[in-house]
Each structure stands twice: as C-alpha cells, then as structure tokens.
Amino acid sequence: MSLRERLNDELKSSMKSKDELKLSVIRMIRSSMKNREIDLKHELDDREIIEIISTLCKQRRESIRLFREASRQDLVDKEEKELALLLDFLPQQLTREELEELVMKTIAECGAQGSKDMGRVMKALQPGVAGRADGKLVSEVVKEKLA
C-alpha cells in the first residue's frame, strides 16, 4: 500500500471516529502534498511524500523548542501530539546507535579524514537516512565522528 493510499484510508477512519487532531494532521499533510504537486506539475511518489512529512516534523520540533522557551506548555503539548502523529507516517526512525553505525560506515566508504569532508559524508549519507532521522541529529553525529 502506497503512502498516499494509507493517508486516504487514515483520513476516512479518523473522520468516522471523529478524531479531530488526527484529521487535522492528515489534512495538513494532504494540503502540503497538493501544493507541492501544483508546483512540480506531477503526482508525488512515496519518497517525495516522506520529504514533505519530514519537513512538517522539523517545523513541529522547532515550534516545540520555541514554545518551551516562551513557557507555553499548552502549545508544546499540542505540537508534540501532532509530531507523534506525523512520525507514524514516516518509516521507522533510526536510533542514535544505528545512526552512529551508518555514519561510521559512510565515513569509511568515503575515506573522510576530518571536518573538511563533512559535506561529502552528508551527501553520501542523506539518501539512506531520508525520513528515518532528523537532519540536525545526522549533522551532529557526523561532526562528532569526524572530530
């Protein structure tokens, strides 16, 4: 089942169960997909849909950080619930240990020597971790291992 079909099925089931939060999140995803399809002038595949959902997750994480700084726990809770629902549509997230293992393997394959090779490592690593790990975390682990 494609991600698009899964989103449609989840939309229907959340309408039937009157789950307003889930319905709102799915509609947000579908709206972003539609906008991207209009921009690109073609129907999105699963990889492109995962990119959209990853972007939405990144936005939620940033909002959570800002709301915490502003001491708005009510908004932090709402954003965390949305983030959890968004993560359900992404592939299984990598643990930090799995990510470190992948980074070390990629560094060895690229023959990276130090922090000047970070761009090369990130470029080689990105296709394998897209949608499975936060870009900020990936960057942090690569910096750590190249240091």
33, pLDDT greater than 90: yes
3, pLDDT greater than 80: yes
Query: Tens digit of pLDDT for each residue in 52-101?
Result: 998 999 999 999 999 999 999 999 999 999 999 999 998 888 888 888 89
CATH 1.10.1510.10 residue ranges of the chain are 3-88
Please tell me the predicted confidence (pLDDT) of residue 8. 94
10, pLDDT greater than 90: yes
- Write the CATH number of the domain with boundaries 96-146: 1.10.10.410
Q: Does domain 3-88 have CATH number 1.10.1510.10?
A: yes
Please tell me the predicted confidence (pLDDT) of residue 68. 96
Residue type, 34: K
Query: Tens digit of pLDDT for each residue in 107-147?
Result: 888 888 878 888 888 888 888 887 788 888 888 888 888 88
CA distances 31 to 24, 35, 53, 118, 120, Å, are 10, 6, 11, 35, 34
CATH 1.10.10.410 residue ranges of the chain are 96-146
What gap in Å lies between CA 18 and CA 129, rounded to an integer? Answer: 34
Please tell me the predicted confidence (pLDDT) of residue 63. 96
Residue type, 93: Q
Q: Does the model's pTM come out above 0.85?
A: no
